[in-house]
Chain A
Amino acid sequence: MHDSPPSRVERTDRSPWNWLLVVPIIVPLLTFLFNASEPRLFGFPRFYWMQLAFIGLGVACTLVVYRMTRRP
């Protein structure tokens, strides 16, 4: 059933950079950060602009992890 792996090089997904993924998992769930109306930004209460901004946080962190853990 098992043919042997073609390369003997040990592969792994481990990397210290992966820990960066924890940031965009935790931060968007901290309601105390954003459950308020002030300050407003372009008319948006904080609740809305900050949660939209977390998308940027998620993209940035994921992108860094992706770039730093790319296989050569």
Chain B
Amino acid sequence: MTEINVTELTVFVVLFVGVAGLGFVASRWRPPASTMHHLDEWGLGGRSFGGWVTWFLIGGDLYTAYTFVAVPAALYALGAVGFFAMPYTVVTYPIVFLVLIRLWSVSHRHGFVTPADFVRARFGSPTLALLIALTGIMATMPYIALQLIGIESVLKAIGVTGDSFVAQHLPLIIAFGILAAYTYQSGLRAPALIAFVKDTLIYIVIIAAVIYVPYKLGGWGVIFDAADHKFTAAKRGGLLLAGPSQLQYITLALGSALALFLYPHSVTGILASKNRDIIKRNMAALPAYSLLLGLIALLGYMAIAAADQGVAPIVTDGKPDVNTIVPVLFDKMFPAWFAGVAFAAIGIGALVPAAIMSIAAANLFTRNIYVEYLQKDASPADQARVSKLVSLIVKLGAVLVIILIDPQFSIDLQLIGGVMILQTLPAVAIGLFTRWFHRAGLIAGWIAGMSAGLAMLYAIPNPATKHAHFGGSAFPLAKLGLPWEVPIYAGFLALVANLIVCVIATVIARAAKVVDGVDATVSWDYFADEGDPKLAR
């Protein structure tokens, strides 16, 4: 049982509370012209964010606390494979550069709040839109839960952990209660304002870490050599990719890159920006966070090199929790007050994405389920009220999942979520460029991709955690009867299946003269910019 480090805890609590205060004040930041009781205001910050706010907001949104904890943990445990986050977060921006501006334009013209709104209008299919919305909600929920794991790992390192149920979970419940309250009050303005603090803290901590820790450990060369020795001795992992894992590395990076901006919370961040130019500029500026992530990833190797100074994962309930490795490294390497700052950075880092994700999930429910099926004539104020309420429920759900169910379950679900959200690519991303697909084709493709993806994930075991199913995302091609002994990212294969079925089913539907939906958009909509008129609704 570790002692609670009072200095660390004090710094952590002070910063955490300060930020929470900021979250409440945020409702008065950049006040809306007319009313806060509109989904555009609560859920999209008035669609008015400029370059800097967008940079901080999307950076805080995509590079989550969980990423900052899990990526170095992956390098710590497995080595090079975990570094896939690097190519992933480099290739994603040039891929979406021309896609997102079209999404922004058509959403500006038609007042879309969610990706499913767009699909509804483009393909004239409430069913397809419902599928897209459900996929988004299912993929986002476990992601919110994972942010809690980020906070939990920090609390463990401070020593705030106990054997009783209450002692173990109360701090988390309080943290999320505060988060739920100010998100309810301020909407997207809260994470946008907090992101400034969070990212500033993270940048300070990481720059300090990558200078100070290698200096204490004897240099980068020593750190990489120590990691090399560990992997060689353990005969597991390595500083470089083993031959067969290269294709997995490539497909995982590419698949994740394609999936990133399909997540509803990414779309929320994009639609909240003021104009096209800001999005384009941010596609060039956001990789600054990738540099940060790359350096954070290497903290995993620093932890290996610092093993003789007592850096090891914290053991709870007899299981070493590898996600605690970065907090423990900070705890052992930094003076207590600075470790407190570092922990606050991670803790606050969890609040920003968790808020945006819950807003995005709530918007999906409101727009594509509530308005579509339950209350067709809901006014903008009604929609804002429902969304606020659902955002509370979503967070409650995430807390319950973490407390009542094995956290491993959330990790599995998040893995599945990535594969699932990728299946919305034909309708959302390709749909932005062409109306060629028939709505029936897209539904058939979605079903095929989802089934294939889930079946593959179900068939992947993980010997390390003794899981027979959902043990990872690397699917061995040999299981399909193919002659190659190489694993490949399951989401990528599922997407290929999805696209093939989309094409075939579209051809069949056209040949059979199945009625297609009406496209409510015109080609000009995809180039609209700030100042261009919005369609009256």
Contact = CB atoms under 8 A, between A and B. Distances in A.
Contacts of A24: 90-91, 93-94
A54 B221 contact: no
B375 to A, nearest CB: 22
Contact of B239 (A37, A43, A59): A37
B102 A3 contact: no
Nearest to A42: B220
B533 A52 contact: no
B32 interface: no
A62 B283 contact: yes
Interface string A47-72: 11001101101110111011001110
Given A13-B527, A21-B97, A1 B520 contact: yes
A59 B101 CA distance: 18
A29 B220 contact: no
A37 B241 CA distance: 11
Interface in B487-523: 520, 522
A35 B246 contact: yes
A29 B281 CA distance: 24
B124 interface: no
B94 A21 contact: yes
A36 B223 CA distance: 17
B253 A55 contact: no
A55 B294 contact: yes
Interface string B67-109: 0000000000000100100110011011101100110000000
Nearest to B75: A48
Given A3-B533, A3-B535, A66-B284, A47 B94 contact: no
A4 to B, nearest CB: 9
A51 B97 contact: no
Interface residues on B, range: 35 or more
B239 A45 contact: yes
A57 B90 CA distance: 9
B294 A45 contact: no
Given A47-B240, A52-B294, A2 B522 contact: yes
A65 B240 contact: no
B94 A61 contact: yes
Contacts of A28: 86-87, 90-91, 253
A31 B283 CA distance: 24
Contacts of B240: 35-37, 45, 47
A35 B238 CA distance: 11
B86 A18 contact: no
Given A29-B87, A37-B240, A47-B239, A62 B97 contact: yes
B291 interface: yes
Interface in A1-26: 1-3, 5-6, 11-13, 18, 21-25
Contacts of A69: 280
B241 A35 contact: yes
Contacts of A65: 97
A12 B527 contact: yes
A24 B86 CA distance: 12
A54 B279 CA distance: 21
Contact of B535 (A1, A23, A45, A54): A1
Contacts of A43: 219-224
B165 interface: no
Nearest to B89: A55
B290 interface: yes
B90 A58 contact: yes
17 contacts: A6-B532, A13-B102, A21-B95, A21-B98, A24-B90, A29-B91, A29-B254, A43-B219, A43-B223, A47-B80, A51-B87, A58-B90, A58-B93, A59-B287, A59-B288, A62-B284, A66-B280
Closest 8 CB pairs of A and B: A43-B220, A43-B221, A11-B527, A28-B87, A21-B94, A62-B284, A63-B284, A31-B246
Given A35-B240, A48-B83, A62-B93, 11 more contacts: A24-B93, A24-B94, A28-B91, A31-B249, A36-B240, A43-B224, A47-B240, A58-B290, A66-B281, A66-B283, A66-B284
